[in-house]
Structure 1
Amino acid sequence: MLLLISLENTFKFQAPPREKCACELNNSEKAFPHEKLRIVETNVSNCNSNITPRKVTSLLKLSCCVSPFLVNHCCLCRLWSWREAICLTAGCTMHCIHKSSSRKNNCYTLLPSGTCPRSRLLNVTGPRVYTAGEYPGSYAYGAWGRDPRPEEGKESWYWLVMLTSSNIYAHYVRLYSSLSSLIIGVSNVQIHSSNPTTNTIQGPNNVLYGGALYYNCYNQDYVCRFNLTTKSVTTLQLPKETFTECYPYTDLDLATDESGIWVVYTTTQDFGNLVLSKLEEGETPVLGKTWRTSIYKRAVTNTFMACGVLYATRYINKEVEEIFYSFNTVTGQEKFNIGIFMNKMSTNIQSLNYSPVDQMLHAYCDSNMVSYKVLFG
């Protein structure tokens, strides 16, 4: 911890008799807060010793062990790995927690929703990636992206779900160790041996988070969670009369961002307007806090989350899609004039997923995989 101290000092020199020289120092500054610094160091030490892997995985937000007298009041932190937390306040580069010697999993999601610095979307550029993948032109509907909270050793992996039956159903998810292997490689984790049936994926609105695939359960208003390691499936029932779709079988949309997993849907009680709910992590997903918006679901082609803000897109023409709407879950503020345009490589975008790992939007467009760079304020 580096503290820069500026002192305005006034020196008075005296040359007394004899051959000795004495200096008198008048310090106009307040005394350095040694006691506060000692408390900070103690708190840092306690943080390191008390945070275990079990505790950290259940942590939803992290408070910095710092004092107000530090530069820029460094208090917004992000845990980039279990070994260090880095301050994100503008202009502050100080490490808020010292490095730990023990090796633990990576994490990108401990900021409470709506509080990270990238909460204002400025532009979308690209596309940066455009590929037909293993099966060019074969499956028009699907989804792909990256896990915002990957398992150890899988930080660079990609996932892909293609709707292989009637453009509606899928029963496996493909995993790739790199972008190049996604283009040419073969890899899959099967959910069920036949399709469609119980636990089958229905619709293209899927996400991978923490080593589990979240998707719309076959023929139900349920969110399914498929654990890729144990191959087990758990479910969460959404409020009854969840309805209305734009594309076929898109009654609900799942999204991930820096703070976790979200589900976007509507009900008859909400008159077709979008409803946003946070999914609490766990082996069995639980519906958390819910927000209601005033944007009509059928006016929206896709949604995605970034920094606790819901964004919605609409079809302009064959070449352009517009990000036109946002809803901030912290302030409750809605905006209908975002006006950010995306250049499309094909007519339709069947799914759109934001990746906080690399700040990219991953779009599945008429069997093609396309990604865009997202620029934030």
Structure 2
Amino acid sequence: MLGAWLLLWGGLALHCRAQAAVLRRADDSTGRCTYSFTVASPVETSCPDAGGVPELRAELTALATRLSRLESRERGTGGSGPRGAEAEGAWDPQRAAPAARLEAAYSELLRAKSRLEEEKGRLEREKEELGRRLESSTQEMARLRAARCPPGGEGPGRDTLRAPGKATRWDPQPIAYQELQSERTEVPASRMLEETALGRPGAEDSAGCGELVWVGEPVVFGRADSIAGKYGVWMKDPEPVSPFTRETTWRVDTVGTEVRQLFQYEAAEQLAQGYPTKVHILPRPMESTGAVVYRGGLFFQPRRSRAVARYDLRGEAITAEKEIPGAGYHGQYPYSWGGYTDIDLAVDETGLWVIYSTEKARGAIVLSKLDPEKLEIQRTWETNIRKRGVANSFVICGTLYTVSSYSALNATINFAYNTATGTSRALRIPFENRFRYLSMVDYNPAERQLFAWDSFNMVTYPIRLSGA
């Protein structure tokens, strides 16, 4: 009874403190009278179960610990943590400077990558363009033998001239004989007289002619210093026209699709120094290494055509152009090294020649004599020498000579075809490819030596003719 009164007085006291309380009376399962009251808590609307108190205390302790850590971190950063800094837009200079440097470096790397990709694309395009010409490239020798120029008019020195029999140390590779034949065409007597006046074999300007019996070691006159000079053509005019002389030297670097620059040098010594007197810009691009200079004109094959053109060196204009009927061009019938060498021009004591092939000849070498003024064909010879089977060719005293290989160190002059007699024979005259990439060989009748381009190097070969 005393407990009931205490509960009642407690409820009245709480009610006096303006807190709502409810008093209930009920009988329990045993029949006892039970008094209970309920008071609304100022913090919670219901009391937790007795078993949940420890969990709540543990959670409260964890929250207090986290709050303590946050307060410590706030004090260590001057009252502004990372999240607070972001929320308030704070900026830390010490952290911003490295970030700015990283962003600048990253941007520079992106720009460098873009430049490299552009350069890679350009190189790939260039590789595709030069793929055919550079497919047979070999390792190039680093050492250059010191060049010695023989005194003018004295010919090769004693140490250079050796009997052909002594050249057996070269041990040339055995070659298979190729049968040759010629096609003879009946020519009126009037035309034969015209040809004799223009310089047929036997004319006075062919005095001292003979058969090639010996080729000496190459002498280096200059070296190209860029990829455009991998192969090219260099020459002198055996019959120059004023203001040019026999010492005036001409050069063309023939790598590329727009070969238009013709370099002029006062002499071979200036060529060796690499400083041209003048650069001529051809009206039409040139194809490959078959050009020659003769009687004041540059004779060359215009790009992607079967024509031959004459560029006047004084007037700096094309004065004549003529197609070679049926001639292959742009890779149809090249020499073995490729390079679009389908049409090759040559000069000897008797005049101007063009070396090519046709579909009718089935890839065999065809040789024609040209009028240097009108570029008309005066006479034609057809052989059975496959043009792709030889590396290059040249004409001396009306006889066509071929080189066996462009890359073998110890190559040979392996065939000769005499246009005066229509006969041919196999040869084994040693020929040294010192730099292993012979792309041009021409004969200069005024100097009686061969001019050649061998893997960036411009060289000459002394020669000996029988009976000369």
User: For this structure pair, what is the TM-score category when the shorter chain's length is used for normalisation?
Assistant: 0.5 to 0.7
1:285-296 equivalences under 5 Å are 285-296=375-386
Contact 1:148 1:258 in 2 (8 A): no
1: CA distance, partners of 2:258 / 2:444? 24
The residue number in structure 2 matching 1:181 is: 270
Query: Cα offset for 1:62?
Result: 9.9
Query: Cα offset for 1:318?
Result: 3.3
Matched, 1:352 2:441: yes
Higher strand share: 1
2: CA distance, partners of 1:217 / 1:353? 19
Query: Cα offset for 1:162?
Result: 0.9
2:413 maps to which of 323, 343, 349? 323
Matched, 1:214 2:299: yes
1:123-202 equivalences under 5 Å are 123-133=214-224, 135=225, 138-152=228-242, 154-165=245-256, 168-184=257-273, 185-192=275-282, 199-202=284-287
Amino acid at match of 2:326: K
The residue number in structure 1 matching 2:198 is: 60
Higher helix share: 2
Amino acid at match of 2:210: S
TM superposition outliers: structure 1 runs of 4+ over 4 Å: none
CA 77–347 in structure 1, closer or farther in 2 if over 3 Å, else same:
same
1: CA distance, partners of 2:326 / 2:433? 35
Q: Give me the identity figure in percent.
A: 27
Contact 1:130 1:371 in 2 (8 A): yes
1:238 maps to which of 315, 319, 324? 324
Contact 1:136 1:368 in 2 (8 A): no
How many residue pairs end up in the alignment?
A: 263
2: CA distance, partners of 1:139 / 1:261? 26
Structure 1: gaps spanning 5 or more residues = 1-57, 64-75, 79-109, 193-197
1:368 maps to which of 457, 462, 465? 457
Query: Cα offset for 1:130?
Result: 4.3
Amino acid at match of 1:144: W
Query: Cα offset for 1:188?
Result: 3.5
Amino acid at match of 2:393: T
Deviations 1:100-136 (A, max 9, x none): xxxxxxxxxx44xxxx433211100021334315x36
Contact 1:148 1:209 in 2 (8 A): yes
Larger radius of gyration: 2
Q: Which secondary structure does the structure 1 equivalent of 2:315 belong to? A: coil
Contact 1:142 1:163 in 2 (8 A): yes
Task: Give the alignment's TM-score, normalised by structure 2.
Answer: 0.53
Amino acid at match of 1:370: V
Contact 1:214 1:223 in 2 (8 A): yes
1: CA distance, partners of 2:385 / 2:203? 32
C-alpha RMSD of matched pairs (Å): 2.2
CA 270–281 in structure 1, closer or farther in 2 if over 3 Å, else same:
same
Query: Cα offset for 1:241?
Result: 5.1
The residue number in structure 2 matching 1:203 is: 288
Query: Cα offset for 1:305?
Result: 0.6
The residue number in structure 2 matching 1:258 is: 349
Contact 2:199 2:351 in 1 (8 A): no
2: CA distance, partners of 1:345 / 1:61? 35
2: CA distance, partners of 1:143 / 1:321? 20
Amino acid at match of 1:239: P
Matched, 1:278 2:416: no
CA 296–62 in structure 1, closer or farther in 2 if over 3 Å, else same:
closer
